[in-house]
Amino acid sequence: MIKVKNISKTYQIGSVGVQALRGVSLNIEAGEFVAIMGPSGSGKSTLLHILGLLDRPDSGSYTFNNKEVSRYSDDELAMLRNKTAGFIFQQFHLLARLTALGNAELPLIYAGRRHLKERALEKLKEVGLESRSLHLPTELSGGEQQRVAIARSLVNDPLILFADEPTGNLDTKNEEEIMALLLKLNKQGKTIVMVTHEKEVAERTKRIIYMRDGKIVTDEKTKSGLAAAQPAGQFTTGSADKESESTVDGAKFGDHFRQALQALVSHKMRSILSMLGILIGVAAVIAMLALGQGAKESIEKSLASLGSNLLMVTPGSHRTMGVAMEAGAVTRFTLQDAEDLAKLSEIKSVSPVIRGRAQVAYSDKNWNTQIQGTGINYPAMHASVPTVGRFFTAEEVQVRQKVALIGATVAKQLFDSANPVGMTIKINRIYFKVIGVLPTKGSTGFMDQDDMVIIPVTTAMYRVLGKEYVNSIDLEVKNAALMDAAQESIKALVIQRHHLSKDKEDSFEIRNMNDIQETVQSTTKTMTMLLGSIAAISLLVGGIGIMNIMLVSVRERVKEIGLRKAIGARSSDILTQFLIEAVVMTVTGGLIGIAVGAGIAFTLSAVASWTTKVTISSVVMATTFSIAVGVGFGIWPARQAAKLDPIEALRYE
């Protein structure tokens, strides 16, 4: 079965090299029960580890079933161990979070045979632990734990068992039970190689190899071995060779996921604290983006109320001898200016506007508000079509009719919840009939757009405010492409009508409302990105926390990693499991963070009256980012775990 020739092994301890094996040659036939003995430092454990494919010789050859395996890759050795070898350790190496049955199942996972998990229960039954299968290792005696380890070593029906001091930590009674079990397995055809210090234990085997200073001193058959001696037949391992091993599937993703969950649940507090960093980060991202998106939509709604493709012509503040004069001191606009501007080919509609403040009263209630006189085109230009009632007509403007439309704030202050249409109010002691209610537009900064009364521009000029000039002229351009041409035409017409010289061309302004909208929208977008970026920093901090916790987890579970590799786990299996643990923590924290962030956004909206909006894109982004954090910050600890050498890991203290 096994043939080693002139193998040597040297360990480097600091700058000193310690030669553990010195040109050892050895053959082991199928069906043998071999005991390896020798004083501490003789090299017996090193030889066992090399025979068990847990370690590699520095030189020499190792032939298993006529295949040279000393140069196999780590993953090929892992598959070969899983398929053909079973390990029984002195320290048992049972995973504390798994039951006896769970521990016995482990090799099946890495062999891709999880569907045969009932075999683990059969092996526990064979070692007399069927009734204790659901107990944790801490609930089992030393002898029972060793029997679980034996069941684990047998679950894949290996060709050979390697036992490292299997009775070293047991009392006399349990020692006898374990030896009886091993002898029984040997009689059933199992090949067993065992390291032991106890001569009486070794004498019950078929062959004793005694080592000293890294060499085999004696190699003798015992009485049992002589009695059982028979010609060695041709031994075959079938699927144990290199070619068939390459077809063995690793643990399925579901098994990796289950193992990862068990590891996380076994350290609840640590897992919760790790998730907390991601949770806070994702919640901050969701809340900040919701706040930014809400502010953006609120501003867009307010800007929409200004209308599109609008130009506003207003009197400017002309400077004479370096002194700024009052707005309108040089150029003042009249209704005739509005009529002439409306004739320009680029202009779709015009509305002169005059503004002022006045006291508005109804019954025993009064309110100081903004009075705005406009033309008939105002509602279409400024998205101000009345929600209740109607707008005034051209005839009512011409005859200076005393009709008014009131905003939602004014309606609430004067009429509470009653319908104001048809009611009579007083504006500066002049009676006006309410003919409509303006649509709700909300507040922009310190200005309440619903706190106003709109009346015909002629009525405002000559009956209420006593002005002969308008404050501005609003013009709607036919389409956005004509905005620049329209501004040039307007400028030329105003200069012509008011006979302005070159030094007085600054006495009026043409404001492009589209430019203002774009500037505000760009600023809002920048602020949203800034808020999201600041919140994302906390996600990175959470990711660093995940990485630190995973590194600690790797250090705490070095022996577990060594055990998993000893029973057949490949580097990719270890990498996948630890990576899943990191991703599960980040995704779980991320999902909870989404809920918390949405809750914060809702609270801000309900309590502080801030406009917030949680979007699907922000949820997807936060989830994707949390997964990326899990993979990005989990990959290094996972790789550190995957690179561990099984022997060094099992020896780790």
Distance between CA atoms of residues 402 and 434, nearest Å: 9
Statement: residue 508 has pLDDT above 70 = yes
206-215, 306-315, 490-499 — which is least confidently predicted? 306-315
pLDDT confidence of residue 432? 97
pLDDT confidence of residue 325? 44
Q: Which domains does the chain have, with CATH numbers?
A: 2-249 (3.40.50.300), 263-302+519-651 (no CATH), 332-499 (no CATH)
Identify whether the C-beta of residue 325 lies closer than 8 Å to the C-beta of residue 337: no
165-179, 235-249, 288-302 — which is least confidently predicted? 235-249
Distance between CA atoms of residues 415 and 195, nearest Å: 98
pLDDT tens for 288-327 read 888 877 877 776 666 655 566 788 899 875 444 444 444 4
pLDDT tens for 408-450 read 999 999 999 899 999 999 999 999 999 999 998 877 656 788 9
State whether residue 278 is helix, strand or coil.
Answer: helix
State whether residue 424 is helix, strand or coil.
Answer: strand
Distance between CA atoms of residues 556 and 559, nearest Å: 8
Instruction: Indicate yes or no: pTM above 0.85.
Output: no
229-233, 440-444, 511-515, 589-593 — which is least confidently predicted? 229-233
Distance between CA atoms of residues 506 and 495, nearest Å: 10
pLDDT tens for 576-605 read 888 888 888 888 888 898 899 889 888 888
CA neighbor of 465 nearest in space, from 353, 385, 383: 353
Identify whether the C-beta of residue 330 lies closer than 8 Å to the C-beta of residue 507: yes
User: What backbone phi and psi angles, to 5 degrees, belong to 26?
Assistant: -165, 140
Distance between CA atoms of residues 153 and 634, nearest Å: 31
User: What is the pLDDT confidence band of residue 637, given thresholds at 50, 70 and 90?
Assistant: confident
pLDDT confidence of residue 330? 53
Overall average pLDDT of the 70-94 stretch? 87
User: What is the pLDDT confidence band of residue 460, given thresholds at 50, 70 and 90?
Assistant: very high
Of 465 and 524, more confident:
465
pLDDT tens for 330-349 read 578 999 999 999 999 999 99
Statement: residue 245 has pLDDT above 50 = no
Overall average pLDDT of the 231-240 stretch? 42
Of 191 and 171, more confident:
191
Share of the chain above pLDDT 90, in %: 31
Overall average pLDDT of the 610-622 stretch? 81
Statement: residue 240 has pLDDT above 70 = no
Identify whether the C-beta of residue 449 lies closer than 8 Å to the C-beta of residue 407: yes
Q: How far is CA 164 from the centre of its chain?
A: 44
pLDDT confidence of residue 329? 46
Statement: residue 226 has pLDDT above 90 = no
Statement: residue 237 has pLDDT above 50 = no
State whether residue 316 is helix, strand or coil.
Answer: coil
